[in-house]
Amino acid sequence: MFSLITSRDSNVKNDLLSGITVALALVPEAVAFAFVAGVEPMIGLYAAFMMGLITSAIGGRPGMISGATGAMAVVMVALVAQHGVQYLFAAVVLAGILQILAGIFKLGKFIRLVPYPVMLGFVNGLAIVIFLAQLGQFKIVNDIGEHVWMQGPLLYIMLGLTALTMGIIYFLPKLTKAVPASLVAIVTVTAIVHGLDLEARTVIDFVRDMVPAEQKATVTLAGELPSFAIPVVPFNWDTLIIILPTSIILMLVGLIESLLTMSLIDDLTDTRGQGNRECVGQGVANTVNGFFGGMGGCAMIGQSMINISSGGRGRLSGISAALVLLAFILFAAPLIEMIPLAALVGVMFMVVIGTFEWASFRIVRGVNKEDAIVLFAVTIITVIFDLAIAVVVGVIMSALVFAWKHATHIVSKAHIDEDGWKVYEIDGPVFFGSVLHFKDLFTPPDDPEHVVIDFKESRIWDSSGVDAIDNLAEKYRKLDKKLHIRHISPECRNLLTKAQEFVEINVEEDPRYHIATDKLA
């Protein structure tokens, strides 16, 4: 991982300074995602404040930053366009409740089952998404309202300031780590732009480009405290039908992105977050968002990486980022509006470098081509479609690869014992993927009168494995040969039909395990 990631322990100074840096980076992101969702900028800023504050205070991963995110904003677009923002608030409340239930029922632990190649693909995909999102800052609105690429001096100044920001972030830690390099870079570039009166786009220019021409002069990031209000929607079955699909997708996307980001930070900081507690924290934050006029959100990998690389480790870093953001909204909007976009782009480019798992290229050069295919697939799907889809596809691909590998790993050690019985010692799992190989291990016509199948080193995983044993027993019965089945679990024995009479019970040695089947559900 890039050297931006440090191993410093949490302390108050690092957390506070890192929080200020994160707050500065949150502003344009929150505004941009608000426009993606089709809502006003303040709805995105309120979401960033409330998500950051609540998840940092009660969530399961200190140092992780939450706010309005693009992954969730994309899901909201259709609902807002068809039914309005009040239905969005109701959907966010319901999504939050579902996330709380996921935490209560301890579903957060399952994120630990996400395979390593899927994690790498997720990280690389998000790094590319963050990079591509920043390219939009190199566009301006022309006289007819079209977004076109910068040209001439404006482009050169933008590139130069971005490079300067990146240079400060890279070299300053080699001289001193007393203050976050990202914060120094933002302050320095802002001072240079306004001190030399350079022609550079600022945060307020970005916001004004997203509103109609007649509103540009009055647009500001100044606001007030969010206030409590129950979403103005009919409380009936029709409303539930409208918001439920969106709420479920928001719940899944939010938890997947948050828990995968948590796992990434766990690896970077050599600590362990609490997945179930994070589910509850995200759920409470989204529920509060819906009642206080926010668009909701989840963990933000970019801002989380800024926080970690700036030294933020404790809950205070996220809390301070949220409170500083609120202070900006209430009291210091003009200061935020004057920050050059190039400074924030430079910070995010360094986040991209630090986020991308360069070690994944070693997997590509290695002998495990299956992992490389899964990694690339998840990366590409994350960039083109959606994080949740990418993770689901990646997990399915990894599961199929796992099944294929283990399907060919089942073997048998056959020998004739002192009584003249042929003994098949099975080694490997018997399940839907391996039953064909399992059947090929036996030669019923050539076997002696007594045959032993010993499952001491094997497990029957599902009903396909049970059926394979039954079918094998039927073959030996038709040949008038006596079959002896040893070392299977009581549950497996009860599921057998044709082979049950051949099972030899050994209470002391027989294993105990469960089988994936609906018959015992």
Residue 498's nearest CA partner among 512, 489, 485, 517 is: 485
Q: Which among 5-9, 169-173, 422-426 has the top mean pLDDT?
A: 422-426
Give the sign of the dihedral formed by CA 299, CA 202, CA 221, CA 329: positive
Q: Tell the burial category of 83 from Cβ atoms under 10 Å away from its Cβ (0-12, 13-18, 19+).
A: middle
Q: What is the pLDDT of residue 325?
A: 92
Question: Which helix (H) or strand (E) covers residue 413, if one does?
Answer: strand 411-416
Question: Which helix (H) or strand (E) covers residue 485, if one does?
Answer: strand 482-486
CA distance 483 to 450: 6
Q: Which among 108-122, 136-150, 428-442 has the top mean pLDDT?
A: 428-442
| Span 251-260, pLDDT tens digits | 988 888 888 8
CA distance 1 to 127: 13
Is the whole model's pTM more than 0.85, yes or no? no
| Span 226-242, pLDDT tens digits | 899 999 999 999 999 99
Q: Which residue blocks in 209-274 are alpha helix, DSSP H? A: 237-269
pLDDT tops 70 at residue 8: no
CA distance 321 to 335: 16
Residue 112 corresponds to which tokens in the numbers above? 């630990």
In whole angstroms, how large is the CA radius of gyration of the chain? 29
pLDDT tops 50 at residue 1: no
pLDDT tier at 520, thresholds 50, 70, 90: low
Average pLDDT estimate for 119-125: 80
| Span 264-313, pLDDT tens digits | 888 777 777 888 899 999 999 999 999 999 999 999 887 898 888 888 88
| Span 482-507, pLDDT tens digits | 999 999 998 899 889 999 999 999 88
More confident call, 128 vs 272: 128
**Residue with the two structure tokens 């409740």:** 97
Helix (H, G, I), strand (E, B) or coil at 505: coil
More confident call, 440 vs 207: 440
Q: Tell the burial category of 43 from Cβ atoms under 10 Å away from its Cβ (0-12, 13-18, 19+).
A: buried
pLDDT tier at 2, thresholds 50, 70, 90: very low
Q: What is the pLDDT of residue 14?
A: 86
CA distance 412 to 437: 10
pLDDT tops 80 at residue 158: yes
pLDDT tops 90 at residue 469: yes
| Span 344-390, pLDDT tens digits | 888 778 878 877 877 777 766 664 677 788 888 888 988 887 666 78
Question: What structural domains and CATH numbers belong to the chain?
Answer: 12-369 (no CATH), 408-504 (3.30.750.24)
